[in-house]
Structures are given as structure tokens and as C-alpha cells.
Amino acid sequence: MNWSTNVWKQIQPIYNRILNMPFIAELTDGTLPKEKFKFYMAQDSHYLEHFGRSLSLIASRIENINDTLTFIRFAEGAIVVENALHESYFKDFNLTDKGSMQPSCHHYAHTLKSTATLANIEVAVAAVLPCFWIYREVGHYITTNLKSVNNPYQKWIDTYGGEEFNTLVEQAIKITDRLALNCTKAQQNLMTDAFITSSHLEYQFWDGAYNLRTW
């Protein structure tokens, strides 16, 4: 079994907890209070900046030059494409000041940045993989279970449930599996730990937004 299939199995309890969060149920039926989505968007805007920097750190460190190019594109996607989504929501919801980073976002953003800088490259890549993979799965899940036609969060749903994002995710999984194949069991275990930690932090990110958690 390849590394990714195995690790995805391992995070099933976390993934199922995510699917059962009120944030996801209310995003799906469009009833998520605007205030919570605004908090989420503002935090996510901070997050994407750090995520983009983490991806470009990985781009510069990864050995294979084609992988460098792929990670440069990922970084660009995080900063340019996803921020466009945020900006349009900022406009729709009259959000002018995104404020400072709050605990869940701060924890996740800085974990990614320190891992991207200091960990072995395969561990750094494994740490960013849940950001892609969990969002794709959640995007698909919401698309499949969509109830309302006039969902105010439709743009968000289309971004992560769509084919373009899916292509990026497939690339990220493929690169991670190739790196896993070429490292020791001990390194693979560190990759798994990093993937699990980021999966927890994805849960915490939504939980922090739903509860409007501040310092």
C-alpha cells in the first residue's frame, strides 16, 4: 500500500470528526452565521499567506526541479487564486480589516512554516498535504450533499469541490508518495506524524472559527 493510502486511513477518525462539525453542516445548507464565516475568511486570508510562503520554502528546498516548479505553482495558487476568493467575500460581507491572527490560525500557520524550513523535505511536504487533501474531500462532500440552491457560500464550495483544485491535489499526493518511496521507514513515520498533526490543525481551524475563538 502506498504511503498516502495508508495515512488517509489513519486519519479517518479526524476526517469524520471534521465532516460532523457544525461548521461544515451549516456551510452545506447555507445557514452558517455570516459572523462565523467572516471570522473564518479573515483568518484564512492570514493562513493562505503563510501557507503560500511555506509552499515556496518547500519549492526552493525540494530536489527535483519539476517538483520545484509544481510547488511554485501551488504557492502562487494559494496567494493569488485563493486570495481572489477571499477578496470577493470581503466585498460581499463588508469586511475591511482582517485583524490579527487568532490561536488556531497562528498555531497552524507557524507549524507549517517551521516544518517547511527545518524538517526534512519529505516531512515538510507531508505536513502541507492535508491542506490540499482535506479541503478537496470536504469540497466534494459538501457538493454531494448540497441542499440549498441559493447558498451564500457557493463560491467557496465550487473552489474546493471543483476540478481545478482536484488536479493540484492529485499532483501533491503523487509527489508525496514518490518522496515516501525513497526514504526510510523512520522518515516515513515522521511524514505520517506530520500529516496527522496538520489534519488535527485543520479541525482546530474550523473549530476556532465556529467558536470565534480569540486569544
Ligand X SMILES: Cc1ncc(CO)c(N)n1
- Spatial distance between the Cα atoms of 215 and 212, rounded to a whole number of angstroms: 10
Lay out the site mask for ligand X across 64-103 (x = CB under 6 A, - = otherwise).
------------------x---------------------
- Nearest distance from residue 129's CB to ligand X, in Å? 10
Within 48-67, which residues bind ligand X (CB under 6 A)? 48
Return the residue of 131, 138, 191, 194 that touches ligand X, per CB under 6 A.
131
Residues 6+ away with beta carbon under 8 Å from 47: 105, 108, 109, 205
Alpha-helical runs (H) found in 62-184: 65-76, 82-92, 103-118, 121-145, 154-161, 163-181
- Nearest distance from residue 185's CB to ligand X, in Å? 28
- 183 labelled catalytic: no
Residues 6+ away with beta carbon under 8 Å from 177: 2, 3, 4
Phi, psi of 149 (to 5 degrees): -90, -30
Identify which range of 23-31, 40-48, 95-103, 189-197 contacts ligand X by CB under 6 A.
40-48
- 26 labelled catalytic: no
Binding to ligand X by residue 210, rule CB under 6 A? no
Binding site for ligand X (CB under 6 A): 44, 47-48, 82, 131, 135, 202, 205
